[in-house]
Structure 1
Amino acid sequence: MEKDIYILGIESSCDDTSAAVLKNGVLLSNVTASQAVHEAYGGVVPELASRAHQQNVVPVVSEAIKRAGITKEQLSAVAFTRGPGLMGSLLVGVNFAKGFARSLGIPMIDVNHLQGHVMAHFITSPSPSEGGEGLAQKGAEGNSSPLGRSGEVHPPFPFICLLVSGGNSQIVLVRAYNDMEVLGQTIDDAAGEAIDKCSKVMGLGYPGGPIIDRLARQGNPKAYQFAEPHIPGYDYSFSGLKTSFLYNLKKWVEDDPDFVEHHKEDLAASLEWTIVDILMKKLKLAVKDTGIKHVAVAGGVSANNGLRNAFHDYAKRFGWTVYIPKFSYTTDNAAMIGIVGYYKYMDKEFCSIDAPAFSKVTFK
């Protein structure tokens, strides 16, 4: 009888400390401690983030192991986010993983944070997923896709993935879990960053993503027009949109000091519509050029309802089969690190104790 494989995943790339345990590739637990301290500053403060990780990492890992119903001695390997991310935050997770793995005499597996977001689509739960999230929607020409153990539908290789978060906006061609090619990416700001900064300018608070999403559901997406960049190929740019939003808002507020309060729903809806339109136009081009109609979305911005609705719309209009993750797997979490760790464990792809963290945004 083969021995069960237990992987501990650790994620600490930004301001969420997360740990997860997987058994033979199936998720047993996924625990995350968020940091409310950054709300007062309108953004993540790196020094505060790293200190909070130091406080949270031990109890979070302990709780993940406890909820999994195992002991730490049963773990087969420790998978951890090596980068990209905030260096101070990464170092806490990396160094903890090194000490923890060495104390147990088990191998370490380094995981690229961006690779983890893409592979979140392959997280398998021990029971059926709730509410239809995490399932594929077939377009007119869509094909069937492989099922996970609990009925989740995983995208078949190759597929195209739109990876959008606060720090990244990329179109990725995914040939295998360890073979990903970035076809296009932002040349300046990321989509999530633009949303957060526009929310901050409006005085709506941080993080801006959920706030803009909620307000946009009540507004008119065609109420205002903002500049859309014309960048060749599959690359993105959101700095021009952010500047256009800022200048227009400044002019409107000069005429009416209460303009934001009176029109925040329409502003949010128009901002969201513009960003989603920019994202989907480039994605449509990539799908057309590659001929690959299995299309996934990943990253924190994939929780946005406007973007999710656009994916459903494109599935119907262009015959795509789209894959939208469960809300719990859109933000930074250790389950996505654990699933990559499981695949790498099966390939015996371990890292050495001296593997350093890296902050640069890239695929390894």
Structure 2
Amino acid sequence: MQKELIIIGIESSCDDTAVSIIKGRKVLSNIIFHQNIHKKYGGVVPELASRLHEKKLPLATKKAIFLSKIDQNQIDGVSVTFGPGLIGPLLVGSSFAKSFSMGLGVPLLSANHIQSHIFTHFIENANINNNSYPKFPFLSLVISGGHTLIIEVNHFFHMKILGSTLDDSVGNVFDQIARILGIHYPGGPMIDFFSKYGNKNKFHFSKPLVNGLNFSFSGLKSQIRKFIENNIKNDPFFIKKHIHDICASMQKIISEILLEKVYQAILQTNIFRVSLSGGVSANHEIQNTFLSFFKKKTKKWELFLPKIEYATDNAAMIGISGIFKYERKMFESLDTSPFSKLKKF
């Protein structure tokens, strides 16, 4: 019987310090240290994030190994995020991972942050609505603070970007509107929370007209901002009175835009399996919009939604990426440098 690989995953692309131990496709431990200090700045401060990663990575690693109940000498490889992300935090994480792999004498494995979000659906029990793994090919909608992408996934490392945002990401829109509403960073989860008590049909916003499978959210963001500012002129307490309805209405229009583009991609590719990944995929209105749509379709239409611990940035997704790379002997040189911007797959 072939031995199941044990991989340690390390994620430090933004403001979450995360370390996970993966055995085969099972998560043995999944540690995340959140950097709450950024709330008072209204966004991530790269220099502060880098310093905190440097401080927290040894602690997160020690805790992950302890909770996994393995000896660190059982680790077969070290998988780490090389990008895309903030270059300072990535340098801290990759340097730590290189030293760790050298110390253990095991291969270094580079993980692409976007691909790794997609790979979460191959972790055991990672999906909330589907116990199986998606079969190839499938479409993946990756939505996060930095990215909004539709990707055709033909195999683990054979992917093609079909559409992307021309300006702002979905997560960026949530955070910027949250700031106008007086909601602290990160704004997305709080907008989602407030929306649960609102009427999503109260306010209506127009959809941007964008050809093909690309997205554009800057116009929608400006439209919502002007709507709020104009109403405040007439009623200084407008936000306080209507914050739940504003959040719900905003989420509705964004969910509809995302679904319409994915539906176009399905019709163009004739691929009826779809996964959602990235931090914004945890949004309840987006999930419900997609679930409602797919329930009306035949059995060949399949939807995969991640549990919240695998939707947001985590190291389990980096670990499973490492598993797939190790199986294919796709080892990384210690000379490899991290990258900040998304590269073609």
Same fold (TM over 0.5): yes
Tell me the equivalent position of 1:19: 19
3-state SS of 2:331 partner? coil
**After superposition, where does 1:60-79 map in structure 2 within 5 Å?**
60-79=60-79
Q: Deviations over 1:195-241 (max 9, x none)?
A: 11101111121111111111111111121122321110000011001
* Residue 102 of structure 1: how far off its partner (Å): 0.7
Tell me the equivalent position of 1:337: 318
Tell me the equivalent position of 1:54: 54
Tell me the equivalent position of 1:253: 232
Amino acid at match of 1:71: D
3-state SS of 1:358 partner? coil
3-state SS of 2:296 partner? helix
Give the whole-Å Cα distance in 1 for the aligned partners of 2:26 and 2:197: 38
Q: Deviations over 1:104-123 (max 9, x none)?
A: 11110001000000010011
Give the whole-Å Cα distance in 2 for the aligned partners of 1:23 and 1:218: 41
* Residue 72 of structure 1: how far off its partner (Å): 1.4
Give the whole-Å Cα distance in 1 for the aligned partners of 2:133 and 2:206: 36
* Runs of 5+ unmatched residues, structure 2: none
Amino acid at match of 1:100: F
Tell me the equivalent position of 1:354: 335
Q: Deviations over 1:76-106 (max 9, x none)?
A: 1100000000000101110000011011111
* Residue 153 of structure 1: how far off its partner (Å): 1.4
Identity fraction in percent: 42
Tell me the equivalent position of 1:321: 302
Tell me the equivalent position of 2:281: 302
Root mean square deviation of aligned Cα: 1.2
Amino acid at match of 2:302: T
Amino acid at match of 1:203: G
Q: Deviations over 1:159-203 (max 9, x none)?
A: 111110010000111111111111000010000110111011111
Give the whole-Å Cα distance in 1 for the aligned partners of 2:340 and 2:94: 12
TM-score, normalising length: structure 2: 0.97
**After superposition, where does 1:1-364 map in structure 2 within 5 Å?**
2-124=2-124, 133-136=127-130, 152-319=131-298, 320-364=301-345
Give the whole-Å Cα distance in 1 for the aligned partners of 2:78 and 2:341: 22
Give the whole-Å Cα distance in 1 for the aligned partners of 2:270 and 2:4: 39
Give the whole-Å Cα distance in 2 for the aligned partners of 1:4 and 1:39: 41
3-state SS of 2:44 partner? coil
* Residue 134 of structure 1: how far off its partner (Å): 2.8
Tell me the equivalent position of 1:143: none
Give the whole-Å Cα distance in 2 for the aligned partners of 1:198 and 1:277: 18
3-state SS of 2:95 partner? helix
Give the whole-Å Cα distance in 1 for the aligned partners of 2:23 and 2:297: 38
TM-score, normalising length: structure 1: 0.92
Amino acid at match of 1:356: S
Asked if the contact 1:21/1:64 (under 8 Å) is kept, the reply is: yes
* Residue 4 of structure 1: how far off its partner (Å): 4.0
Amino acid at match of 2:46: P
Asked if the contact 1:77/1:106 (under 8 Å) is kept, the reply is: yes
Asked if the contact 1:13/1:83 (under 8 Å) is kept, the reply is: yes
3-state SS of 1:318 partner? coil
Asked if the contact 1:164/1:299 (under 8 Å) is kept, the reply is: yes
Asked if the contact 2:25/2:122 (under 8 Å) is kept, the reply is: no
* Residue 361 of structure 1: how far off its partner (Å): 2.0
Q: Deviations over 1:274-305 (max 9, x none)?
A: 11111111111001111111111010011000
Give the whole-Å Cα distance in 2 for the aligned partners of 1:362 and 1:278: 25
* Runs of 5+ unmatched residues, structure 1: 137-151
